[in-house]
Amino acid sequence: MTLLLLLLLVVSFSATGNWAQESQVWMWVCQEGKCVKQPLDRDMTPQGLQACKLVCDTYSTLWPRPRGKVELGRILAPINYNSITITGTSGDHRALSKNVGQFFNIAADTFSNQLTTLFKKREQRPSDGKSLQVRVTIRDSYTRALKIGSDESYELYISEADTEIQASIISTEFFGARHGLETLHQLITFDDVTDSLVIMRDVNITDSPAFPFRSLVLDTARNYFSVASIKRTIDGMAASKLNTFHWHLTDSHSFPFQSQTYPQLSLYGAYTPQQIYTPQDILSVVEYARARGIRVVPEFDAPAHVGEGWQWAGPNVTVCVNAQPWINYCVEPPCGQLNPTNDTVYEILGGIYHDMFALFEPDIFHMGGDEVNFGCWRSSPEIVNWMTSHHLGQTDDDYLQLWDIFQKRAYTKVVEANGGKEIPIVLWTSHLTAQGTVDKYLDNKTYIIQIWTKGSDKVIAELINKGFRVIFSNYDALYFDCGFGAWISEGNNWCSPYIGWQKVYMNNPYTMLTDLGVDISPGTEARELVLGAEAALWSEQVDESSVDGRFWPRAAAMAERLWSNPDEGWQKAEYRMLAHRERLVRQGIQAEALEPQWCYQNEGSCPE
Ligand SMILES: *[C@@H]1O[C@H](CO)[C@@H](O)[C@H](O)[C@H]1NC(C)=O
Ligand SMILES: *[C@@H]1O[C@H](CO)[C@@H](O)[C@H](O)[C@H]1NC(C)=O
Ligand SMILES: *[C@@H]1O[C@H](CO)[C@@H](O)[C@H](O)[C@H]1NC(C)=O
Ligand SMILES: *[C@@H]1O[C@H](CO)[C@@H](O)[C@H](O)[C@H]1NC(C)=O
């Protein structure tokens, strides 16, 4: 019986010919803007899924999709990986300055490396096809650090000449050129049916972002993240044209920032001697980010969210550190706040700010200001006595005044650290920025307010109406730590449920403001005050082993909202989101899967 079966099998193998040698039986055909899976037909210039996706839809597989002119030829041309050249010149056809030239070389290397991820399983690099000449022109070839008001726009043209494909990228500043290379790379793919590297021919794109501030915040204090994992996060940001990495360096839980003025802080406050950020670590992250068009904004959160690391400074510099029951003094254990009545506090703050400014050279500084608990301050006899001797009572209003005193004194230390120059300061929404009080304590020239309450919070309208610049981190759409198990109890964590990419994508700052009755039509001052948004990853329940999946691909959904600000819903972006997620994974980012791969291969068949 067994023998007979075996014989039958042998017969059937030989009968079907050489299919064992074939690696493909499917191809994809573009029909009505969708790639449709069909049996392979060698007579009809077949193409694989990637190649089909590149030409099929309105915005190809571009992510974020360009905002200006998008003219796509929808014809693919094979190119030879071994004859790609990338040259960069300044507006007057001279060499780029040394500083920008260095960054340009990094951008060019990143571009080439990204291409190799397209066919990394192949032994042979695709060499059939024309050469590719990429010419990049950067008009202002000196500016290397992003600022508010930097020009991130670029133009990209691709055309075919006799022997080569020519791509030309033109930008004002380096940042635009870098974005242009990112877009160009997204117009190249490896077609696994024809085994060739292909580029889309005949392309005209002009592009620039809708919002100037497109950011992620990572908290490296609740749990520690290696420099390598931070750089990987920056890679994902660059691939998605985000431009700001806000680094929440310290908190009550740990103090990994190695201060040169006060090395005791990380000596006492780091989880382990290895889990610190040395000055060299910080410089390498800042430079790595800059070369990818990204500014790093450091945060030193104060006067709350401090604790570990301050033990050496003496008993009256901090109050309520690790006080129990914690619920009376802070929102999560361990508690701790600075003592605003003690002069030593400002001396140490001055040293921390000085060290941070020397390393980060920030154009914006984040002073935190999150979740100050008056119960903590009231628990200190020192502070209570000080209040009395300064004719202040014990009400919340009195303690707001104490906080105001702290904020003003700390700000003068920040200005000192910045060489005596004023600098925009970001603060989280808090009692200090509450309805009716915000303009009493803070001035709208200096302070940028980062909103973390819900997108429907009425205070947002008031902030705009009082002339404050704002950044949206409304937790109902942009807190990526929501939706996991609780850790201070059982059940779900405080801001559950999990926020899907669709909700992130639809989180439109202008819509939220319109719903709050603010006129943000083009040309209004109100519109100019909306800098953008920032997705937050608070790290109580994440460290570097799962950071990629928490951020990606959801952070990319926010990236398209902020770059392109599309009118259409997420449904129109779904196929490109899946393609971008694949791209991030190819580039070494462990982005979460959004759907069965079947949906990626059968476009338009899954979401309702
Ligand atoms: C790009 O612009 C050129 C010059 O205006 C034009 O000839 C060409 O047709 C455009 N390409 C596409 C795909 O529209
Ligand atoms: C402030 O704290 C330091 C360190 O504990 C202490 O030496 C100093 O006396 C305190 N100052 C006041 C006014 O309590
Ligand atoms: C700290 O404050 C307490 C009062 O709460 C005071 O008795 C003590 O002398 C202070 N310590 C220092 C070092 O200033
Ligand atoms: C911004 O603050 C200044 C100074 O306090 C004030 O005069 C101005 O009216 C404020 N802007 C708006 C839009 O309220």
What's phi and psi for 292, nearest 5 deg? Answer: -110, 20
pLDDT of residue 309: 98
- The predicted-structure confidence for 432-473, as pLDDT tens digits, reads as follows 999 888 889 999 999 999 999 999 999 999 999 999 999 999
* Average pLDDT estimate for 399-423: 98
The residue type of 127 is S
Is residue 492 a part of any domain in this protein? no
Atom of ligand 1 nearest to the CA of 74: 13
Which of 264, 311, 316 gets mutated to test ligand 2 (max ligand atoms within 8 A of its CB)?
316
Question: Residue 5: which pLDDT band, with cuts at 50, 70 and 90?
Answer: very low
Rounded Cα gap, residues 549 and 426, in angstroms:
27
Q: Whose CA is nearest to atom 3 of ligand 3?
A: 382
Does the pLDDT value for residue 120 go beyond 70?
no
User: In which band, very low, low, confident or very high, does the pLDDT at 402 lie, cut at 50, 70 and 90?
Assistant: very high
Is the pLDDT confidence value at 14 over 50? no
Measured from the alpha carbon of residue 464, the closest ligand is: 4
Q: Look at residue 363 and tell me if it is in a domain.
A: yes
Catalytic residue from among 332, 347, 371, 416: 371
Asked if pLDDT for residue 16 goes beyond 80, the answer is no
Residues 304, 187 share a domain = no
pLDDT of res. 194: 87
Task: Please indicate, yes or no, if residue 255 is contained in any of the structural domains.
Answer: yes
Q: Are residues 266 and 387 in the same domain?
A: yes
Within a domain: 99: yes
| CA dist., res. 299 & res. 344, Å (int) | 20
pLDDT of residue 493: 96
Task: Kindly tell me if the per-residue pLDDT of 23 is higher than 80.
Answer: no
Task: Say yes or no: 380 and 299 in one domain.
Answer: yes
CA–CA distance, 446 with 247 (Å, rounded to integer) = 20
pLDDT score for 8: 40
Segment 575-591 mean pLDDT = 97
CB of 212 closer than 8 Å to CB of 139: no
Ligand 4 midpoint to CA 149 (Å):
21
For ligand 2, is residue 607 a contact (CB within 6 Å)? no
CA of 409 to the centre of ligand 2 (A): 17
Cα separation, 125 vs 398, in Å, equals: 70
591: nearest Cα among 561, 559, 536, 550: 550
Atom number in ligand 1 closest to CA 204: 1
**Looking at the domain assignment, is residue 371 inside a domain?**
yes
Does a structural domain hold residue 313?
Answer: yes
What's the confidence (pLDDT) of residue 257?
98
Q: Please report, rounded to a whole number, the percentage of residues in the chain having pLDDT higher than 70.
A: 95
Q: Where are the beta strands (DSSP E) in 455-529?
A: 469-472
Residue 270: phi and psi, rounded to 5, are -75, 150
Ranges 90-99, 278-287, 412-421: which has the least confidence: 90-99
Do 340 and 288 fall into the same domain? Answer: yes
145 vs 121: which has the higher pLDDT: 145
Residue 336 and residue 195 share a domain = no
> pLDDT class for 22, splitting at 50, 70, 90?
low
Per-residue pLDDT, 17: 44
Could you tell me the pLDDT band of residue 21, with boundaries at 50, 70 and 90? low
Question: Which mutation among 311, 316, 378, 386 tests ligand 3's pocket best, with the greatest number of atoms within 8 A of CB?
Answer: 316
| Pocket lined around ligand 1, Cβ cut-off 6 Å | 71, 73, 202, 204
pLDDT at residue 91 in the model: 87
Same domain, 85 and 145: yes
Q: What is the pLDDT of residue 92?
A: 87
164 is catalytic: no
For 471-499, the pLDDT digits (tens) are 999 999 999 999 999 999 999 999 999 99
Instruction: Summarize the confidence of residues 137-154 as an average pLDDT.
Output: 93
What is the residue with the minimal CA distance to atom 14 of ligand 3? 316
Distance separating alpha carbons of residues 267 and 309, to the nearest angstrom: 7
With contact defined as beta carbons under 8 Å apart, do 474 and 455 qualify? yes
Domain count, the chain: 2
- The residues that bridge with 532 in the sheet, in sequence order, are 213, 471
Query: Is the C-beta atom of 380 inside 6 A of ligand 2?
Result: no
Instruction: Output the CA torsion sign for 218, 220, 222, 228.
Output: positive
The verdict on residue 44 lying in a domain is no
Q: Ligand 2: does its nearest atom lie under 6 Å from the Cβ of 317? A: yes
176 and 305: one domain? no
- Cα-based angle 367, 369, 371 (whole degrees, multiple of 5): 150
Output the residue whose Cα is nearest ligand 1's atom 9.
Answer: 202
Kindly state the average pLDDT of the residues 150-167. Answer: 96
For residue 380, give its domain range.
Answer: 249-428
In a domain, 125, yes or no: yes
| CA-341 nearest atom, ligand 2 | 13
Give residue 42's pLDDT.
83
Distance 315 CA to ligand 2 centre (A): 7
- Assess whether the C-beta atom of 444 lies below 6 angstroms from ligand 4: yes
Residue finishing a domain among 390, 409, 428: 428
In the predicted structure, residue 266 carries a pLDDT above the cut 80: yes
Expressed in angstroms and rounded, the spacing between residue 167 Cα and the centre of ligand 1 is 13
For 204-261, how does the pLDDT look when each residue is reduced to its tens digit (9 = 90+)?
999 999 999 999 999 999 999 999 999 999 999 999 999 999 999 999 999 999 999 9
Q: Give residue ranges with CB within 6 A of ligand 3.
A: 314-316, 381-382
**From the CA of 264, how far away is ligand 2's center (Å)?**
17
- Give the pLDDT confidence of 505-557 residue by residue, as tens digits: 999 999 999 999 999 999 999 999 999 999 999 999 999 999 999 999 999 99
Whether the predicted pLDDT of 568 surpasses 50: yes
446 touches ligand 4 (CB under 6 Å):
no
Q: For 107-144, b where at least 16 C-beta lie within 10 A, e where not — what string? A: bbebbeebbeebbeeeeeebeebbbbbbebbbebbebb
Residues 285 and 182 in one domain: no
Rounded distance from Cα 556 to ligand 2 centre (Å): 48
Do residues 254 and 194 both lie within one domain?
Answer: no
Nearest by Cα to 90 from 177, 164, 156, 157:
177
pLDDT at 127 over 50: yes
How many angstroms separate the CA atoms of 306 and 258, rounded?
15
| Of the residues 369, 403, 428, the one at which a domain ends | 428
Distance from C-alpha of 402 to C-alpha of 383, rounded to nearest angstrom = 10
Which atom of ligand 1 is the closest one to the Cα of 203? 13
**Residue of the nearest CA to atom 4 in ligand 2?**
314
pLDDT at position 9 over 60:
no
From 428, 446, 469, the end of a domain falls on 428
**How far away, in angstroms, is 451 Cα from ligand 4 center?**
19
Q: CA–CA separation, 193 vs 260, rounded Å?
A: 57
pLDDT band at 2 (very low <50, low <70, confident <90, very high): very low
315 lines ligand 4 (CB under 6 A): no
Q: What is the pTM for the complete model shown?
A: 0.95
229: Cα separation from own chain's centroid: 13
- Does ligand 2 come within 6 angstroms of the Cβ of 393? no
Domain match, 306 and 383 both: yes
Distances (CA, A) of 19 to 5, 15, 435: 20, 10, 72
Distance 313 CA to ligand 2 centre (A): 9
State whether the beta carbon of 123 lies less than 6 angstroms from ligand 4. no
Residues 6+ apart with CB under 8 A from 115: 81, 84, 185, 188, 197
pLDDT tens profile 315-332: 999 999 999 999 999 999
Do 203 and 294 sit in the same domain of this protein?
no
